[in-house]
């Protein structure tokens, strides 16, 4: 019985790590026998749980930073977005650490160049990315984004500012990881969120329910910088589509064939934009 629970625990961790990081389950499979061998040799019996946790984290980090990037480039032609460059950063470190930051080199170049242009237009500002794609295999989805499965898609956070002072913020959104920072629909605007929710598309509002806005974060939508970001991406010839909700599009005062609504089957796009090649 003890062995059964031990096996169940391992399967649980492998499944969870595979779901959230794609490669974490495999790294765990290599790590467990290695850890057993080392602790047996060194006759370590006390504090094994914390030692295991700490050393797995280090092992995962080393593999993720040293082996996964060249392997992803040669096997699937995808490259990671930077952890910290002057004009591009993940909104939350998790997007980088969980290997959810892989894209085709063409998309990486578009993101970096667009962010540089934005940084020139609004000095001190940088683009914050959310989920992009995993390192390997076309068709392998990065849940809950079914379409993020080919290295050609990325989500980016809108810009916000302090409500009281009007201070421009970077890398900060009303909800903790970007998703869920929904923009309320005003009177007279097309209310796609209401339509999708009332028509039973539970997945549409999923991220907003999972990550509600922090009430103490008194932020407001920064129209000026968000407009610059969206129009810069839309005007890039390499970009195929930019998804955003109709009321955000109207608020930004932008038009264009590339600016589209993702529809009710996708997660809502009034807390981020989705850019794809
Ligand atoms: Zn997306």
**Ligand 1 centroid to 123 CA: how many Å?**
27
Residues counted in the chain: 277
Crossing angle of helices 48-66/24-41, nearest 10°? Answer: 130
**Ligand 1 centroid to 131 CA: how many Å?**
7
Q: What is the predicted pLDDT for the residue at 149? A: 92
Nearest by Cα to 185 from 247, 126, 232: 247
What's the rounded mean pLDDT across residues 171-181?
93
Taking the C-alpha atoms of residue 275 and residue 269, their distance in angstroms, rounded to an integer, is 11
Residue 40 has pLDDT above 90, yes or no: no
Residue 24's pLDDT band, with cuts at 50, 70 and 90, is: very high
Domain ranges of the chain: 2-66, 81-276
What's the rounded mean pLDDT across residues 159-184?
92
Q: What is the predicted pLDDT for the residue at 206? A: 86
Helices (H) and strands (E) counted in the chain, each on its own, are 10, 10
**Ligand 1 centroid to 275 CA: how many Å?**
7
**Ligand 1 centroid to 193 CA: how many Å?**
16
CATH pick for 81-276 out of 3.40.50.10680, 3.30.1380.10, 3.40.640.10, 3.40.50.300: 3.30.1380.10
* 48-70: burial string, b at 16+ Cβ within 10 Å, e else: eeeeeeeebeebbeebbeeebbe
Q: What is the rounded average pLDDT for all residues in the chain?
A: 91
Residue 35 has pLDDT above 80, yes or no: no
**Ligand 1 centroid to 146 CA: how many Å?**
9
Assigned token pair, 152: 């050609």
Q: Is 164 helix (H, G, I), strand (E, B) or coil?
A: coil
Between 261 and 89, the more confident residue is 89
């Amino acid at each position: 019985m003890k062995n059964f629970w031990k096996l169940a625990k391992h399967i649980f961790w492998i499944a969870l790590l595979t779901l959230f990081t794609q490669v974490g389950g495999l790294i765990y499979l290599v790590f467990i026998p290695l850890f057993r061998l080392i602790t047996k040799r060194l006759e370590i019996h006390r504090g094994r749980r914390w030692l295991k946790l700490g050393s797995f984290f280090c092992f995962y980090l080393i593999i993720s930073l040293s082996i996964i990037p060249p392997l992803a480039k040669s096997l699937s032609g995808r490259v990671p977005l930077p952890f910290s460059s002057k004009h591009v950063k993940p909104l939350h470190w998790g997007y980088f650490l969980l290997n959810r930051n892989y894209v085709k080199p063409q998309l990486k170049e578009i993101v970096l160049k667009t962010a540089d242009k934005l940084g020139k237009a609004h000095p001190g500002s940088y683009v914050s990315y959310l989920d992009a794609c995993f390192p390997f295999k076309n068709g392998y989805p990065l849940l809950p984004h079914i379409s993020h499965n080919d290295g050609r898609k990325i989500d980016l956070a809108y810009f916000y500012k302090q409500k009281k002072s009007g201070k421009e913020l970077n890398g900060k959104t009303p909800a903790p990881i970007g998703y869920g920072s929904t923009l309320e629909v005003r009177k007279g605007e097309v209310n796609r969120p209401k339509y999708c929710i009332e028509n039973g598309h539970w997945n549409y509002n999923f991220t907003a329910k999972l990550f509600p806005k922090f009430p103490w974060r008194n932020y407001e939508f920064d129209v000026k910088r968000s407009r610059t970001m969206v129009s810069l991406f839309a005007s890039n010839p390499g970009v195929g589509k930019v998804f955003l909700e109709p009321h955000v599009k109207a608020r930004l005062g932008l038009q264009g064939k590339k600016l589209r609504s993702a529809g009710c089957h996708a997660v809502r796009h009034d807390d981020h934009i989705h850019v794809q090649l």
